[in-house]
Amino acid sequence: MPRPTLTDDQHWLKNTRPTRAANGGESVFTGGKPKMPQGMGPVAEAEWKRLSKQLKQRGTLTTADATAMEVHCITFARWKAACAEVEKYGEMIDEICLDKNGEQFTRRVVNPMGKQAVQLGNSVRAMLKEFSATPASRDKAKRAQEPPKPEPPKPVEPETQEQVMERLLDRKQKPL
């Protein structure tokens, strides 16, 4: 039988913190679209556009996400390149070695790019979790607050002819 859930007051009395995730509500951050950094490759730029479009539609994108998105997009591009190299050369590659007599021979070894592709893939997956862009983490995302809308300017009441004349006369009487 599970323990009963403690209220916030009970947690305060026992100096503990609740372990349940606060799922509802909005984020404290204001929504917005960060600027894409210069100098990213075409694969990274395409991933930036794809991810920012999805996060913007869901309402979880903020301008503070720029650095994390840049790291994700560059890592994603490297992962794609590593996967392409493994696809091109295969899981196993030929390595030329020398024996103790100086004779060359070839042996088959595991492609080192395969290991790098796995590591980069794990990094990409971890970054997608940070953005709540994986199936398991999607429900935990909080919507960003809407940016404040500027107030419309107050309408200016037109001056009557008498008010204009009075203002001009006041100016003439005051020395500059």
Comparing 25 with 12, the larger pLDDT belongs to 12
Q: What is the DSSP string of 108-156?
A: EEE-HHHHHHHHHHHHHHHHHHHTT-STTTGGG--EEEPPPPPPPPPPP
pLDDT tens for residues 29-63?
A: 777 888 999 999 999 999 999 999 988 888 888 88
| Per-residue pLDDT at 123 exceeds 90 | yes
Q: pLDDT > 70: what percent of the chain?
A: 91
pLDDT value at position 170? 79
Query: At which residue do the structure tokens 């679209």 appear?
Result: 33
For residue 163, CA distances in Å to 29, 71, 93, 176 come to 48, 63, 91, 21
pLDDT band, residue 176 (cuts 50/70/90): low
Distance CA 157, CA 71 (A): 53
How much is the average pLDDT of 122-133? 90
Flag whether the pTM goes above 0.85.
Answer: no
pLDDT value at position 156? 72
For residue 107, CA distances in Å to 88, 102, 110, 111, 141 come to 19, 15, 10, 12, 50
Inter-residue contact 33 to 4 (CB < 8 Å): no
Under DSSP, the state recorded for 64 is G
pLDDT value at position 17? 84
Q: Where are the domains of the chain?
A: 28-142
Q: What is the mean pLDDT of the chain?
A: 85
